[in-house]
Homo-oligomer: A and B are copies of this chain.
Amino acid sequence: MVKSAERTVRILETLAASPDRLSLSELQTQTGFPRSSLHALMRTLVELKWVETDGAKSAFGIGPHALLTGTAYLDKDQALPFALETLDNLRDEIGHTVHFARRDGAHVLYLATREGRRTHRVIPRVGRRLPAHVTALGQALLAQLTYDEVTDLLPDELVGYTPHTLTEHGKLAKELEQVRTRGWALESEQGTPGVKCVAVAVDYRIPATDAISCSMPADLDDDKLDKVIDAVIRHTRKLIATLRREGIR
C-alpha cells in the first residue's frame, strides 16, 4: 500500500461523507493523519481541483474533479446501457421513481425520477448509498447470498434508521428467506420515513449483482402496491431477457 495514495483517497472519502466542509484540524481528528502531512496533501488536492476550499482556506470540501471522475464509472457499466429503456418504461408505467443498483445494494447506478411534485429536499442522485439491510434493493441482493455470506458482509451492529429498520440479524435472515421464496423485497419505511420500496434482483448473473427497485409513498394502498410489484417483476424479467440476449456477463 502506497501510504500517500491511501491517504489521498481516505481524505476524499472523509470529505465526501461529511455533511459540512471540514477544517484541517477536523480532518486531523477524523483521519488520524498528522496536521503537517494533511497540509501538504490538501494543498496538492486543492491545486488539482479535487478539493474545494472556502476562500478563507479553513474549510475543505470535495471538488468538481471528483464528480467528473467518479461519474465516469457509470459509462463503464456493461448492463446499464441496456437497462435504460426498461427503467424508463417502468417509471412511465407506474409513475414512481425507479432505481437501478448493484453489488451490496448500495450505490444507485441509474435513477428515473417521476414527474410531478417532489416530497422531500434530498437531492436525487446516483451513487447514493444506504446500508444493504435497510433498503429493498439491498435485501433483494442479500437474498442471493447464504446466511454466512450475509453476516460476513454486514457489520455485527445493524444501524437503525427508522423504528421499522431490521436491526437484528435473526429477523433480517427471516426477511431474506421470505424475499427468496416470493422473489421480491419490500421495504416499508425501514430506510426512509414515509417511503416504501419494492425491489427485484436482476439475476443474469448467479448470484445476481443488480436489482431494480421502485419507491413510493408509504401510505399507498395495497391494490396499487400489487400493481407496482407486478410491474417491477414484469420489467425485471424483460431486462433479464435483454441482458441474456446481449450476452452481458
Contact = CB atoms under 8 A, between A and B. Distances in A.
Contacts of A85: 118
Interface residues of A, number: 66
B2 A4 contact: yes
A31 to B, nearest CB: 14
Given A80-B123, A113-B113, A126-B125, A68 B9 contact: no
A57 interface: no
Nearest to A3: B4
Copy total for this chain: 2
Contact of A71 (B1, B67, B113): B67
A121 interface: yes
Contacts of A1: 43-44, 47
A19 interface: yes
Given A64-B107, A123-B110, A125-B71, A41 B5 contact: yes
A160 interface: no
Interface in A1-60: 1-9, 12-13, 15-17, 19, 21, 40-41, 43-45, 47-48, 50, 52
Interface in A109-133: 110, 112-113, 115-116, 118, 121, 123-129
